[in-house]
Amino acid sequence: MEWSFLVYFSTIFLPILIFISYTRKPYQKNLPPGPPGWPLFGHTFKLGTTAHKTIAGFKQKYGPIVWLKLGSVNTMVIQSADVAAEFFKNHDLSFIDRTLVDTMKALNFHKGSMALAPYGIYWRLMRRICTVELFVNKRINETVVVRQKCVDNMLLWIEKKANTEEGRRNGITVALYVFCASFNTMGNLMLSRDLVDPESKEASEFFNAMMGVTKWGGYPNISDLFPWLRWLDLQGLRKKMDRDMGKALDIVSTYVQERIEDRKAGRESSKDFLDVLLDFEGSKNEPAKLSEWEIKIFILEIFLGGSETTSSSVEWALTELLRNPEIMDKAEGFVQVFH
């Protein structure tokens, strides 16, 4: 039914939209320079398979600020450190909000997200909680034992996989195990538990759901280029995000409820970041308490931001070490000295 309507729409209305877009005089007042685009599609198909190189080439002709139209979305590209500093130092509040991709609106995730929330009371509140309670030396120092345990487990996983027939034949994906170690580190910091085990299907359920959220959140989406097509969800990405994010939220909800019941029964252990969120008491115009929904969204976001970035950094560092044997020798020497 949906595809029949799409074919009908394309044959009848698409030529009309292209004609209107082509004949309408563009609104160019005070806009940065940029290459000519196609009607309706803008510069979407002009960027090619290496968009970053194409856009970098525009700088030579149009300068450090280039105006593009990706589908129906106006896009300004900044390719100069000085211009970027001008934008984000002197005009920070004008550009502080992020553009939302359609998949991150699934289950209203964006409304509770610190990264995606508009600048205001809630954003400042969540940022303050992170600054005071999470990203501080005291909290980091308290997790030394946990981080060491997660790294030790990672090394055992890698060694075990390397000794299997499959590992000897095809090699191993070190990045996967680094990601698992990062994920478990965040799990212990937030929830005082490991959340993934390569050999346990049940322990990996949350991990797999979060991998799906990460994948669909970064997937190129037609709905982001042509917002008026969002209701069709042509690639099925919104449906997939609803599924995986819903599963992840359900699992986090179970953890939160277990902690609430433990606290009521007096079964409290060492205080982790979930306890910090549950104990929060607002002041002045802040909310008195964080809702369970806000806590769940916040926990998901910490996992999204803290796991993949760490594993990617380690993966690239290992890659550079392998490409530069002399630096690898120096690194091994430092490790042996301080071990």
The ranges assigned to domains in the chain are 2-96, 111-338
pTM of the model as a whole: 0.81
Residue 191 burial (CB count, 10 A): 21
What percentage of the chain reaches a pLDDT higher than 90?
42
Reported confidence tier of residue 24, pLDDT bands at 50, 70, 90: low
Reported confidence tier of residue 27, pLDDT bands at 50, 70, 90: low
Reported confidence tier of residue 94, pLDDT bands at 50, 70, 90: confident
pLDDT(336) > 90: no
Distance CA(269)–CA(265), nearest Å, equals: 12
Reported confidence tier of residue 203, pLDDT bands at 50, 70, 90: low
pLDDT for 149-191, tens place per residue? 999 999 999 899 889 988 888 888 888 888 888 889 989 888 8
Distance CA(244)–CA(167), nearest Å, equals: 30
Structure tokens at 93: 């509040």
Instruction: Tell me which CATH code domain 111-338 carries.
Output: 1.10.630.10
Mean pLDDT score across all residues of the chain: 86
pLDDT(210) > 70: yes
pLDDT for 126-156, tens place per residue? 999 988 888 888 878 888 898 899 999 999 9
What percentage of the chain reaches a pLDDT higher than 70?
89
CB 189 within 8 A of CB 273: yes
Mean pLDDT, rounded, for 91-118: 89
151 CA to centre of own chain: 23
CB 173 within 8 A of CB 154: no
Per-residue pLDDT, 22:
52
pLDDT(71) > 70: yes
